[in-house]
A = this chain, B = another copy of it.
């Protein structure tokens, strides 16, 4: 007898048939136990569980997938230019939250990036073929074609943040941007600040729009006339925060506070203020948004608006699972919280 194939005898993992044999039942019964044990006698259940433990059986997902027509996994789809997002501390927080939430449902998270049109075309077949059961979509800019793709593929999805410019109902989970902005501006005004400027986010993102609206509203409610010179628009990057702050310092040298639509931009603003020889918060109070890790790392640490990332990711996962189970779309808005540190 030759010895050619001993390696191939690699302990093939046990199948449902092995379990059935050990438990003295049919494989149908084993499968029923796997599905939750309905319509199975306690005795059979126990026997099957014992066999599973003894053999170290774990279900073959491919086989299950083939018959249930479900992938048994979910995609985390980043449809933004990669550099921007991987650099954004909020993204990391969200990704972590979703991974954890999904793990609790035993659903593997497949990470997909599709920042360019070429990449989007590339993953389209993957999505259309339903190689995942649903998608957690991160895409903050207006008119992202990914949403159309997902609709066409008839694939459940839920967005992080309100997708701008969508006519039909879309599931999304977001923090209350407007209220958050209002709370920060109210805080600055009530601390005695008189000339409150703002660095807003891009106009084609919900955060860029709503946080600016909140700023304007609160100023109006305090009887303060709108002043264009007090508004600069960045792109959420640290560098843009710095540039915007320089611009504000020039166009309105008398400002004594600034509400910045993201912590990263606020950190950039801090640098510009320092370079101008001014002190925070003595000369200028700086309020951020997000309460991301940069808020605590900044010098001075940022007073900011906390986005409830853990709840956001949990709700995104919950909504997605509900949709996969056939529910319709829903919108979830979560409250924010003012976090006072040293910058304002």
Chain A interfacial positions (CB closer than 8 Å to B): 10, 13, 56, 58-63, 65-66, 71, 73, 76, 82, 86-87, 92-93, 95-96, 99-100, 103, 108-113, 119, 122, 125-126, 128-131, 154, 238, 267, 271, 274, 293, 297, 299
Contacts and interface: CB of A to CB of B under 8 A. Distances in A.
A293 B297 CA distance: 14
A129 B122 CA distance: 29
Nearest to A299: B271
Count of this chain's copies in the oligomeric assembly:
2
B95 A111 contact: yes
Given A103-B113, A297-B238, A86 B82 contact: no
Nearest to A100: B113
A119 B103 CA distance: 9
Given A128-B56, A293-B87, A297-B267, A99 B113 contact: yes
16 contacts: A13-B128, A13-B129, A58-B128, A58-B129, A61-B62, A61-B131, A62-B62, A62-B66, A62-B71, A63-B66, A66-B66, A73-B110, A100-B113, A108-B110, A108-B112, A108-B131
State the majority secondary structure of interface residues on A. Answer: helix
A260 B297 CA distance: 18
A58 B108 contact: no
Nearest to A293: B87
A140 to B, nearest CB: 18
A58 B125 contact: yes
A250 B13 CA distance: 60
A130 B13 contact: yes
Given A62-B66, A103-B119, 11 more contacts: A13-B128, A56-B128, A58-B128, A60-B129, A61-B62, A61-B129, A61-B131, A66-B66, A103-B112, A103-B113, A108-B110
Sorted nearest first, the 3 A-B pairs with minimum C-beta distance are: A62-B65, A58-B129, A62-B66
A66 B65 CA distance: 9
Contacts of A87: 92, 293
A109 B111 contact: yes
